[in-house]
Amino acid sequence: MSAEKPVRVAVIGAGMMGSGHASCVAQSARGELMAVADADLVRANKLADAHGAAAYAGHRELLAGEDIDAVIVCTPDWGHREVCIDAAAAGKHVLVEKPLAMTLEHCDAIIGACDEAGVILMVGQILRFDPRYAAVKEAVESGEIGDVSYVYARRSNTLLQPRRFEGKTTVLHYLAVHDVDWMLWAMGEPVTEVYAAASRKALTDLGVDDSVFLTMKFAGGAVGCIQVAWILPEQASHNLDAYLEVTGTKGALFIDTPNAGVRFESQRPSRIDTTYGFAIGGRTGGALREEVEHFLGCVQKGTAALIDGRQARAAVAVVEAAAESIRSDQPVRLPAP
């Protein structure tokens, strides 16, 4: 399509992330928000009305009724496959939230459908659009810290996250996939072996792990460790506590995300986001906007996305190996990509 024509977009799943994506599209010169679908029609109507878009209760009705170029899939982790496949079959470009899917079988089905339809498949691995994580990746690639010896990441959420997903996703699929994807991207080499251990104390009623420590061997000899948990108290002042450390033979790089340079004390839990989806004068900024702009630009120009289905699948493969390692209490080797 021509570079100046805005991309006509529908958002499917009008929850937390769908609302953010919808604002980014509606405010972009590259995009036009045409419609919103949510299994909960009240939610779909509310988000659609806020942007003057049409509302649907199902993605199939939306795909049949709307003249659009692309969809942004923001259904929960377990609901990506069907929506992505139907959208691809209808010839729509797809931006799907992370993780691509919860199993490799579902990842392959989505990749296959998008390949067959000849549409772009981009996955919302947002750390690639976080300027801090992008800068550290560039510094690693430049050789500034020498040969990477180890990479360590921590990602911790409050109990609000596992409680709202009712045991249908895991801390590995929901959180670890962020850092796994970033590490694969920054290291530029595959993971060959994974060992993981988990604890279950706070979420026994949901039947999911509280926290996972995941260690990885990279093909070039470096080691990686990712520590994820989602049991911080709901009253915690940060919804997200994340940290990254990359140490090489000539130096080290660090990211400490809760220290955003702003503090807010009040009677209620209060959080200020200065990175992912903040607003200035009502205009959304941050990594989510960068991600959406990138997708819209790829659709307009017909160029490859910074994070495609196969790269996102590689992160799911590591996460799946970690889940297998927890079950078996054994290291799990990954097949060569």
Ligand X SMILES: NC(=O)c1ccc[n+]([C@@H]2O[C@H](COP(=O)([O-])OP(=O)(O)OC[C@H]3O[C@@H](n4cnc5c(N)ncnc54)[C@H](O)[C@@H]3O)[C@@H](O)[C@H]2O)c1
Which residues contribute to the site for ligand X (CB under 6 A)?
12-18, 37-40, 43, 59, 74-77, 79, 83, 97-98, 124, 126, 174
Kindly report the number of other CB atoms within 10 A of residue 52's CB atom. 9
- CB of residue 250 to ligand X, shortest distance in Å: 32
- CB of residue 103 to ligand X, shortest distance in Å: 14
Instruction: Decide whether 16 or 272 has the Cβ nearer to ligand X.
Output: 16
Question: Between 41-51 and 16-27, two packed helices, what is the crossing angle to 10 degrees?
Answer: 20
**Non-local CB neighbours of 157 within 8 Å, separated by 6+ positions:** 174, 175, 229, 230, 232, 239, 240, 241
- CB of residue 149 to ligand X, shortest distance in Å: 28
Q: How far is CA 34 from the centre of its chain?
A: 23
Instruction: Decide whether 18 or 309 has the Cβ nearer to ligand X.
Output: 18
Instruction: Decide whether 16 or 135 has the Cβ nearer to ligand X.
Output: 16
Instruction: Decide whether 75 or 311 has the Cβ nearer to ligand X.
Output: 75
- CB of residue 166 to ligand X, shortest distance in Å: 10
Instruction: Decide whether 69 or 291 has the Cβ nearer to ligand X.
Output: 291
Instruction: Decide whether 148 or 203 has the Cβ nearer to ligand X.
Output: 203
- Across 303-333, b (16+ Cβ under 10 Å) vs e yields eebbbbbebbbbbbbbbbbbbebbeeeeebe
Bridge partners for 204 per DSSP: none
Instruction: Decide whether 129 or 152 has the Cβ nearer to ligand X.
Output: 129
Kindly report the number of other CB atoms within 10 A of residue 8's CB atom. 19
- CB of residue 221 to ligand X, shortest distance in Å: 31
Report strand pairing: 223-232 vs 211-218: antiparallel
- Closest residue to ligand X, based on beta-carbon distance: 15
- CB of residue 331 to ligand X, shortest distance in Å: 27
Residue ranges of alpha helices (H) inside the chain are: 16-27, 41-51, 59-65, 81-89, 104-117, 131-142, 160-165, 171, 177-187, 287-301, 309-328
Give CA–CA dist 105/130, Å, rounded: 29
Instruction: Decide whether 8 or 98 has the Cβ nearer to ligand X.
Output: 98
- CB of residue 24 to ligand X, shortest distance in Å: 12
Residues in the chain: 337
Bridge partners for 63 per DSSP: none
- CB of residue 44 to ligand X, shortest distance in Å: 8
> Contact at 8 Å (CB) between 22 and 277?
no
